[in-house]
């Protein structure tokens, strides 16, 4: 296990610096969620075409996903301290510029800058766990980082809804300014240990950087377009082919390089590779659940963003309550058992959500949220140690970048699959419900909300235009509920199947460092 850290790994200054780093990461993740809640308000003010709105989020996410694997290189060249200070400073300035944007083009441009800076903050925090703290404190540090990482998407909707309703969309970005300034100044003062200031010379490989950026950008945009254009659309196939060829070029160039841009040697460690796959699957579940809940509550139940945020707080509360237990058990129970329990509980919570009806609301969502919230730390803490705990200090920053990249890639793929399932299955379910109604199925009619007597009166008669207009929304809502349930079931099955990988995990050996 990695123990080559500063002797001051447990003093107040080190902990203070680490908490400040977690604050920066929290800001970056929260920004994605709170902006998503206010896209309609931004669209109205800036006069943005509906089909262009998605680029406000896609620009950020694409820049972020390119920046994440570069964190190892940037950490080596700048040191963790100045990488964090520089990244949080750029993130803060870009946030201020986003809040002042008067056009769609300006906003998207600054979102790219903001996303790139924010992307380096996430893996920097998880690598700090293994570079700043001794082994006995790494579990606690990972839990603090994990709580910040997964709490942000949970509270994002309620924060975004409150800001939009109380002030204006500009404050979705301006809210980052004060904490960003505090984080930059505090980090410069507190992050002074050897683990945060160590620099290593690494040559710059522009060809590998371009290939990496092109590959990940094509992947992100291709997945964005696939649900609406179709997976077999020429544009989608072209983007995914570009992703594959540019990615292959990057891997070949990197493996052959004496000074690689990203240390792919991390994948020679079996536990790291399995940890990355688990991170990928966790990304599908995390991104998917925080997408499906507001999707259902908004379109099926008709709740506003603030009420949706209030309902989703249950997940965050369950996560906070379970975090101390995760820290306690992580040092006492085999990581494989904890990971199995975490992924099994997480899958169970999503399976319960796959049984929703059009009447499901806050009360029925409590138990699935409790299961998912309680499971999250067990899905994050043991796999993080599994993946990064065996790496040598020289590989930790690169490993953290790759580990976190896999979670984002899983989230991107998961969202594309979810949208595909919803768009395709809702049409199928809608046609089936319509056929059952035309066949006189009373149970189906009552089930979607048509009064029994009114339906019986219409039997044997062709529906008039008024009746069709009244029934169509009921059919569409019922079909949407079934399709959303299929999406929940899809990510539940993927999460449950991931536990099979645990049979190949090696027991951690404190004296083994991968890549030495």
Any idea what DSSP says for residue 1?
Answer: -
Query: 510: which 2 tokens?
Result: 């404190």
Query: 68: which 2 tokens?
Result: 């994440």
Query: What is the distance between the alpha carbons of residues 476 and 485, in angstroms, rounded to a whole number?
Result: 14
Q: What is the pLDDT of residue 250?
A: 96
Rounding to the nearest 10 degrees, give the CA dihedral for residues 135, 141, 145, 150: 90
Give the residue from 133, 32, 124, 28 showing the smallest Cα distance to 84.
124
Q: What is the pLDDT of residue 3?
A: 42
DSSP E strands in 411-495: the ranges are: none
Q: What is the pLDDT of residue 6?
A: 44
Name 434's Cβ contacts closer than 8 Å, sequence gap at least 6: 475
Any idea what DSSP says for residue 391?
Answer: B
Cα R_g (the chain), whole angstroms? 24
Q: What is the pLDDT of residue 1?
A: 44
SS3 514: strand
CA geometry: angle 332, 338, 343, nearest 5 deg: 170
* Total number of residues shown for the chain: 516
Alpha helices in 68-205 (DSSP H): 71-78, 80-100, 104-132, 135-166, 171-174, 177-190, 194-197
Query: 459: which 2 tokens?
Result: 């039997």
Residue 391 β-bridge partners: 514
Q: Are 501 and 273 in contact (CB under 8 A)?
A: no
Q: What is the pLDDT of residue 196?
A: 59
CA geometry: angle 219, 220, 221, nearest 5 deg: 95
Pick the CATH number of 1-202 from 1.20.1250.20, 3.30.70.1230, 3.40.50.2300, 3.50.50.60: 1.20.1250.20
Residue that is written with structure tokens 């984002």 in the block: 408
Pick the CATH number of 263-516 from 1.20.140.10, 1.20.1250.20, 3.50.50.60, 1.10.260.30: 1.20.1250.20
Q: What is the pLDDT of residue 36?
A: 74
Give the residue from 55, 24, 28, 23 showing the smallest Cα distance to 39.
55
Query: Where in the chain are the domains?
Result: 1-202, 263-516
Q: What is the pLDDT of residue 50?
A: 65
Give the burial string for 288-322 (b: 16+ CB within 10 Å, else e).
Answer: bbbbbbbbbbbebbebebbbbbebbebbbebbeeb
Give the residue from 185, 184, 183 showing the smallest Cα distance to 23.
183
| SS3 of 218-239 | HHHHHHHHHHHHCCCCHHHHHH
Q: What is the pLDDT of residue 455?
A: 81
Give the residue from 225, 207, 272, 255 showing the smallest Cα distance to 406.
272
Q: What is the pLDDT of residue 156?
A: 82
The burial class, CB within 10 Å (0-12 / 13-18 / 19+), for 434 is middle
The DSSP line for 446-464 is: HHHT--HHHHHHHTTS---
- The answer to whether the predicted template modeling score (pTM) of the entire model surpasses 0.85 is yes
Positions in the chain whose pLDDT score sits under 50: 1-9, 510-512, 516
Same fold, 1-202 and 263-516: yes
């Amino acid at each position: 296990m990695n123990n080559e850290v500063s002797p001051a790994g447990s003093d107040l200054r080190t902990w203070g610096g680490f908490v400040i780093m977690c604050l920066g990461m929290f800001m970056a993740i929260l920004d994605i969620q709170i902006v998503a809640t206010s896209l309609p308000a931004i669209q109205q003010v800036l006069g943005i075409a509906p089909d262009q709105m998605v680029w406000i989020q896609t620009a950020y996410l694409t820049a972020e996903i390119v920046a994440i694997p570069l964190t190892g290189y940037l950490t080596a060249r700048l040191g963790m301290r100045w990488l964090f200070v520089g990244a949080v400073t750029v993130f803060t300035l870009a946030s201020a510029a986003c809040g002042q944007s008067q056009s769609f083009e300006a906003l998207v441009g600054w979102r790219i800058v903001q996303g790139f800076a924010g992307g380096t903050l996430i893996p920097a925090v998880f690598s700090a766990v293994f570079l700043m703290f001794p082994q006995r404190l790494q579990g606690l540090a990972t839990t603090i980082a994990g709580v910040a990482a997964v709490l942000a998407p949970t509270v994002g909707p309620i924060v975004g809804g409150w800001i939009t309703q109380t002030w204006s969309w500009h404050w979705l970005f301006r809210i980052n300014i004060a904490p960003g300034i505090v984080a930059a100044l505090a980090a410069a003062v507190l992050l002074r240990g050897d683990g945060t200031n160590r620099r290593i010379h690494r040559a710059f490989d522009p060809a590998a950087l371009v290939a990496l950026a092109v590959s990940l950008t094509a992947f992100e945009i291709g997945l964005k377009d696939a649900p609406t254009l179709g997976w077999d659309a020429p544009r989608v196939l072209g983007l995914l082919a570009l992703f594959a060829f540019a990615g292959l070029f990057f891997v070949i160039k990197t493996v052959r390089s004496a000074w690689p841009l990203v240390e792919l040697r991390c994948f020679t460690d079996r536990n790291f590779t399995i940890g990355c796959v688990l991170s990928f699957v966790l990304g599908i579940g995390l991104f998917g659940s925080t997408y499906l809940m507001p999707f259902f509550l908004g379109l099926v139940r008709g709740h506003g963003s603030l009420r949706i945020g209030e309902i989703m707080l249950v997940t965050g509360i369950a996560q906070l309550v379970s975090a101390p237990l995760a820290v306690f058990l992580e040092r006492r129970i085999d990581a494989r058992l904890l990971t199995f329990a975490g992924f099994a509980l997480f899958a169970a919570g999503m399976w319960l959500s796959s049984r929703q009806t059009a009447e499901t609301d806050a009360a029925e969502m409590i138990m699935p949220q409790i299961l998912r919230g309680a499971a999250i730390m067990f899905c994050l803490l043991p796999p993080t140690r599994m993946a990064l705990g065996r790496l040598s200090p020289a590989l930790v920053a690169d490993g953290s970048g790759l580990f976190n990249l896999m979670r984002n890639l899983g989230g991107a793929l998961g969202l594309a699959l979810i949208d595909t399932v919803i768009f395709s299955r809702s049409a199928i379910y809608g046609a089936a419900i319509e056929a059952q109604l035309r066949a006189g199925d009373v149970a189906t009619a009552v089930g979607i909300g048509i009064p029994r007597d009114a339906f019986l009166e219409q039997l044997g008669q062709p529906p008039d235009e008024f009746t069709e207009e009244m029934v169509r929304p009921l059919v569409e809502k019922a079909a949407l509920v079934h399709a959303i349930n299929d999406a929940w079931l899809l990510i539940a099955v993927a999460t449950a199947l991931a536990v099979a990988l645990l049979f190949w995990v090696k027991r951690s050996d404190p004296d083994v460092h991968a890549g030495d």
